[in-house]
Amino acid sequence: MTTANLTGKTLFITGASRGIGLAIALRAARDGARIAIAAKTAEPHPKLPGTVYTAAAEIEAAGGKALPLVVDIQDENQVAAAVAQTVETFGGIDILVNNASAISLTPTLQTPMKRYDLMHRINTRGTFVCSQACLPHLFKADNPHILNISPPLNMEARWFAPHVAYTMAKYGMSMCVLGMAEEFREQGVAVNALWPRTAIATAAVRNLLGGDETIRRCRKPEIMADAAYAILTQPSRACTGNFFIDEDVLRSAGVTDFTPYAVDASAELLPDFFI
């Protein structure tokens, strides 16, 4: 059983100026949802597409209402101000998507502490801060959801050894799911994680994992957006504490053909981390 759609819902999405965050926003916008875009990029970046303002224009064109918010989620005061502006503009918050993330796939001796701190401040701490700021408003929502773009807690050494700092930071997001789902179960706030089975065609993958050839072996961000939509339209009291995989969610929803999600249907798909 799902709720009808996301019409009239307000989503606060971190890192929604590009990639998976923007794709989730655009899927919700097709229902006429209201989306607060909480991201750092105010000016065009030489290596990364999109700003909060270009994202807002895309969301409006797709049928939604957009509130571009230049916010660094490392700063709890900026997060609090962004949440307050969202509530003032749209009247509340129904859904939080913790999508913003920093990545450095480096082994221990090659990970500068500045980079270690950045990953933990954005991934784990940022997720906690945004959840903490949004929860008082989610308690008032009819079908409140928090969705973290983070992996299942697969405690195998092979996922830690090559990049222990990054794994710890991403698993911190997933530990928020594990704890908060139970902590807020009685209040009816769903807290879930979503992770892709394959690599997703984003700027981070292009820049860090091998350029255009790697992108050929990826799926498009829309698979994560469609899976997120399927989760966020579930009744929150009946759908919490899960570590979802995009492909599994969509199979459960009746999808059998995944070729439209492939960047290149002839290329062998590249599995993602942590699965």
Are 18 and 48 in contact by the 8 Å Cβ rule? The answer is yes
CATH 3.40.50.720 fits 10-261, yes or no: yes
Structure confidence by residue, pLDDT tens digits, 127-146:
999 999 999 999 999 999 99
- Is the pLDDT assigned to residue 214 strictly greater than 60? yes
CA gap 225, 232 in Å, rounded: 10
pLDDT at position 259, please? 97
Are 73 and 66 in contact by the 8 Å Cβ rule? The answer is no
Return the CA Rg of the chain.
17
- Residue 144: closest CA among 229, 81, 234, 224: 234
Structure confidence by residue, pLDDT tens digits, 43-86:
887 777 789 999 999 999 999 999 999 999 999 999 999 999 99
List the catalytic residues.
166
Q: Residue 254: left if φ>0, alpha if ψ -120 to 50, beta else—which one?
A: left
Q: Which stretch of 107-116, 204-213, 266-275 has the lowest confidence by average pLDDT?
A: 204-213
Are 32 and 103 in contact by the 8 Å Cβ rule? The answer is no
pLDDT at position 44, please? 81
pLDDT at position 43, please? 87
**For residues 34-40, average pLDDT:** 97
For tokens 């899960």, the residue is: 242
Are 195 and 149 in contact by the 8 Å Cβ rule? The answer is yes
- Tell me how far the alpha carbon of residue 66 is from its chain's centroid: 17
pLDDT at position 1, please? 43
- Is the pLDDT assigned to residue 7 strictly greater than 60? yes
Q: How many CB atoms lie within 10 A of CB 2?
A: 14
Mean pLDDT of all residues belonging to the chain: 95
pTM for the whole structure: 0.96
In the structure, what pLDDT confidence band is assigned to residue 238 with cuts at 50, 70 and 90? very high
Instruction: State the helix-helix crossing angle for 19-29 and 52-61, rounded to 10 degrees.
Output: 30
* Share of residues in the chain with pLDDT > 70 (%): 99
Residue with more model confidence, 157 or 1: 157
Are 234 and 2 in contact by the 8 Å Cβ rule? The answer is yes
CA gap 111, 164 in Å, rounded: 9
- Is the pLDDT assigned to residue 3 strictly greater than 60? no
